[in-house]
Structures are given as structure tokens and as C-alpha cells.
Structure 1
Amino acid sequence: MAEFYSNSSVLETPSNSSAAQQTVFQYCRDMPAGFMFYLSLQFINLFLGIPANLMVLWFIHKSKSDSSTSDIFILHLAVLDTMFCLMPPLEVINIMYLNTSNILTALSFFYGVKDCSLLFLSCICLDRYMAVRHPITFTELKDRRHRAVCAAVVWLITLAYALARCVGKFPNFEKTFVVMILATFAIMVFCNISILSALRQSGPGRDEMHPVKKKAFKMVLIILAIIVFNYLPPVALFPFKQYFVPDLFICYIAYFAFGFMDISSSIQPMLYLSREKLSNFCPCKFQMCGCTTEQEVST
């Protein structure tokens, strides 16, 4: 069964010979809005995401001596997103002109890598959750050794998943992606809501939230909104793929959903870099999923 890759193996064309030989442009020529929207966002990643992620890598390298504990996960996420942001030219060739096995294999691998970026983002969220909700345990585990091990494990899972996608012979393999995005989305939302709940609590003898915590609360709320914006469309739509008309799902729904998901490769590094401005009024170092120190929660 031929596949049109837009980021996941959930995009499978009907199993007939004419569809298998067509490009996405030819297959969806009567419904072009979906993949045109998708390609527009992909080129934003190309021109904005690459420099933004390189700046993140440079910043983490420059501030290695005083960087936060979760910077190791952010570094790996930036490397992964930089790789993904290089793909739009090859994808344009695939969508508009060619549908060859070599191009599909390359795209399949890199989109498999991108699928697993959710694992690194979940690690960041869990790290922030531990810092705010379980500060004592977080302090005891503050060394970077176990984070390096976690990052290595995530990369092993990522490479195994990407290679499995290249092989493309595993039955119902697309369900792996659906389960992964549902699980990681639930983890990210849970961690951020828990952080918001902790920040919302007033300190002893206080009727109002501390100003520092109030600013932290607003930032985490923005982060939660961005996570929902990027990942809710595929979470809400992909489990119900079988209920959609195949052509509608392939040409519209999947491309719009993946467009929102993939633009995270630009939004995430921009949010990280914005912490330099935020640090002017808040001592807390903001990452992708909240506040790094437990002091603000207990204030």
C-alpha cells in the first residue's frame, strides 16, 4: 500500500494502482487547500525554525555553566527540530513532482524522528513538574547524570521507531504513533495543569498570589495554550481516522492537523529564547514547561 508522507504513517492512500503512482498534488488536485496550508507552515519552519533552533543550541552552549537542569532535554529537542526543519525542499519534491521509494524512505525516517520529539518535550514537562510539585526529590536528583541516560534512551527509541517506519512492513504501525501522541499529550497537559495549580496557591498569610508567582503562572498558562494549539488537532482527530472519508482525511484533515503539530519546531525555540526577556522581571528560568526552581512555589 503506497503512502503519502506528511509526518506519519497514518497517511495511507487507498490501495489501488492508480493512487499508488500519483503524487499528493495529483491525488488531491481537487482539494489542494490542505497540503498548501501544510507546506506554508513547513517553509516557516525552514526560514524561522532553523535559525531559532541554532540560536537555542548556541545559547545553551554559551550558558553551560549555569543552565537549568532540563536544558539537556531542550538541547536534544533543538537538534531534532533542526533536522526536521531541513526537510521542506525534499517534501515539496515528493508532494508536487515525485513519489519514489527513495524519497519516501528518507521522509519516513525524518518524520519518524519528528514524531518522537514529543518524548523529549514530555521529559521537559516532567522535569518541571518534579521541580515545582516535588522539590525535595528534585533537589536530590538535580545532577545531570540520570537526565543524560534518559536522553540516550529517548534517542534509542527514536531511532528504532524511525527505522521501523522506513521498513514499513509492520501491520497497523500507525497505531503506535496514535498511542504515543495520546500518551505524551496527556503527560504534558497533566504536568502543566499541576504546575498551574501549585503556582495558584497563595503563601501562608497571603490572600493574593505573590507577584513573581503570578508572572510565572501567566507564562505556564501560555505554554499550556501552545501545547494544546500544537497537539490537540492530531490528538482529537487521528484516533477517529476510520470514521472519515479516506480522501477527505488524506487531503484535508491530516495535513491541517500535522501543520499545527509541525509548526511547533519554530514555536518551541522561540518560546525558549523569550525567557531572556522574561528574566528581566522574573528570577525564574522558564523552559518549555514551567518554572525551574521550587523557591517561587513556596514563596
Structure 2
Amino acid sequence: MNVSRELVTRNSSKPECVCVEGSVVFLSMVDIITFLTGQPVVVTLLWTILTSRKTPDILNFHLALFHNLQYLISLVHLCFLFLVRDEQWKVFNFLLVYAQTGGPMSLGFICFQRYVAVIHPTSYPLLKKHRYREACVATVWLFSLSFAVTNVLGSESIAPVAMAFFKNFPFFVMIAMTCMMVHSTIQTIRMLKKPGPESNKMNPAKRRAINAVRATSAITLCFYFPVTLMAKIQTTCKFACQTAPFSFLLLSAASVVDPLCHLSTLRKLFACCKCEEKPRRS
């Protein structure tokens, strides 16, 4: 992969990366593969949640919509790469901040909800009473969209101190959410692994819950956390131009892996490939 090391100046002394052919091919492939693999998975997940007889899972439904918008922005970025290449960095930066902020926040809120349901079951109804899920959804959309727009369009009109806050906010969100998820995951798994009074075997529901909690933390640590660290340690534009495509790849992969894991937890991942066996009549 040949990442561009050239710099241009746009309306100020702020340098931006210029895409060369190698990076264009890499970024366009990430955009295409992310859309083609993620869109069917998210549509299946949304349909599964909406048609389920259980109460709709608001947070996971919201996260699926969040990923779906990320796929659509990837298509926009793909168009900019070939039609308006000099301006593609705006869509690119918007997509990075959008996914880097909203993804970990959404997973953190989901993890905390599971923690309360397992560790403090008597307090779990209070989440519905106080509109916890609705507040989390509104918070994610507010911060992810506003910070993404500000990062791209507001750098020239916002004070340096305020801009530094906007730049560092995803890092602090990631640290806070990671600490919360690690604590919640450890406590939740410990509780779920305790055998019931009637049997020493773990029932399938508990096993699925453990797998879901582990998957949430694994996605955060394997995809979002490295992206946040790379963004934090970038000290020069040259270094940023080299690491940005890898961050883009990790964020795109996270948007596909997460709905796949959730479908697997719901046992719907390979439902279309399985044929139910009819019972034989004796």
C-alpha cells in the first residue's frame, strides 16, 4: 500500500494528505467490501429485531442503524475518491470521527445495560423507567455527528482550546468506555458462570450471554482501542497520512464484525443456510 506523503495547503497553513493511486485503490476496496458485506448483515439484523416476538432491543437496533449510516457514508467517500479526490479527505475525516466516537459509546452503553441486568436485576426495570436506552441513543447521535461535523468544518472558526477538546474527546471516551466495559465484563461473566442451584451445567441462555459480553469487549479492544491510540500518538501529518488508512480499515471491520457477532448470539447468522429436519413418522 502506497500512502501519500505529499501535502497541500487549503485556505490556511493546515496541511492535508493527498491520495495517490495506491491509497485510492486501498481505500476504495475498503469502502466497497465494507458496504457489500455489511449491508446484508445489518438488514438481516434489523429484520430479526423488528420481527422478534420479544421486546425490541433498542440499543442494538440503534447500533445497527449507526453502522448502516456508516456504510452509506463509505459509499459517499468512494464517490469522492474518484470524482472529487481533492475533497475526499473531508468525508474521510468525518467518517473516522463518526465511527471512532459513536461506536465505542454504543458498545459501552450496551455492556452497562447487560451488567445491570445480571448483577443488579432488581434495579434493571429502572432503566426503562428513566428512559436509559433512549438517552443513550440520543447521546451517541448528538456527540458522534456534532463532533464529526466540527472536526471537518469548524477548525477555522473555533478557538484552539475548544478545537483541542473536540480532537481529544474520542480518546477520553475510549478510555472511559474501555474501563467500564472491562469491569462490567469481568463481573458479568463471573456471575453468569456460577452454577444454578439445581445443576452444575451452564444453560444455553447463560452461555449465549457470556459470548455476547465477550464479543462486545473483544470488538472494542481489537478494533476501536488501536484506532484511538493511533489517533492520539499522531504528532506529524506525515505520520497521520501513514496510519489513517489502517484506522479506516479497523473501523470499517468493526462495523461489520459487530452485527455478525450479534446475529451469531441470536442464532440467526446461518439460519438461511440451515434446513430444519422433519420428524420421521414411525
Which one of 249, 252, 256 corresponds to residue 262 of structure 1?
A: 252
Which residue of structure 2 lines up, in the alignment, with residue 220 of structure 1?
Answer: 213
Instruction: List gaps (5 residues or longer) in structure 1.
Output: 1-11, 280-299
SS class of match (1:66): coil
Q: Structure 1 residues 232, 23: CA separation in 2 closer, same or farther (over 3 Å shift)?
A: same
1:166 aligns with 2:158: no
Structure with the bigger percentage of helix: 2
Q: Partners in 2 of 1:239 and 1:45 — Cα distance?
A: 25
TM-score by length of 1: 0.69
Report if the CA contact (8 A) 1:49-1:266 is conserved. yes
| TM, length-normalised to structure 2 | 0.73
Equivalent residue for 1:273, pick from 250, 259, 263: 263
CA RMSD after TM alignment: 3.5
Aligned with 1:201 (options 163, 181, 194):
194
Of structures 1 and 2, the one scoring higher in RCO (CA 8 A, sep 6+) is 1
Residue 38 of structure 2 is aligned to residue 53 of structure 1: no
Query: SS in structure 2 opposite 1:86?
Result: helix
Is 1:92 matched up with 2:78? yes
The superposition leaves residues 154-194 of structure 1 with CA deviations (integer Å, 9 ceiling, x where unpaired) of: 32233322331232324333222222223223333332222
Distance 1:274 1:22, change over 3 A: closer
Equivalence for 1:154: 140
In 1, the alpha carbon distance for the partners of 2:147 and 2:20 equals 28
Percent of aligned pairs with the same amino acid: 24
1:225-244 to structure 2, matched below 5 A, reads: 225-242=218-235
The 2-side partners of 1:261 and 1:192 are apart by 22
Q: Does 1:135 align with 2:121?
A: yes
Provide the rounded CA distance (Å) in 2 between the counterparts of 1:217 and 1:22. Answer: 43
Structure 1 residue 231: deviation in Å?
A: 1.9
Residues 201-243 of structure 1 show CA distances to partners (whole Å, capped at 9, x for unaligned) of 344587x55244345434533443333222232244333223x
- Quick one: structure 1 residues 21 and 66, their matched pair in 2 at CA, closer, same or farther if it must change by over 3 Å? closer
Question: What residue in structure 2 maps to residue 119 of structure 1?
Answer: 105
C-alpha separation between the residues in 1 aligned to 2:124 and 2:257?
A: 27
- Which letter maps to 1:24? C
Instruction: For structure 2, list consecutive stretches of 5 or more residues without a partner in the other structure.
Output: 270-282
Q: Counterpart in 2 of 1:8?
A: none
Q: CA deviation at 1:132?
A: 0.9
Aligned to 1:229, what secondary structure does the other structure show? helix
Instruction: Say if 1:166 and 1:204 are closer, same or farther in 2 by CA, change over 3 A.
Output: same
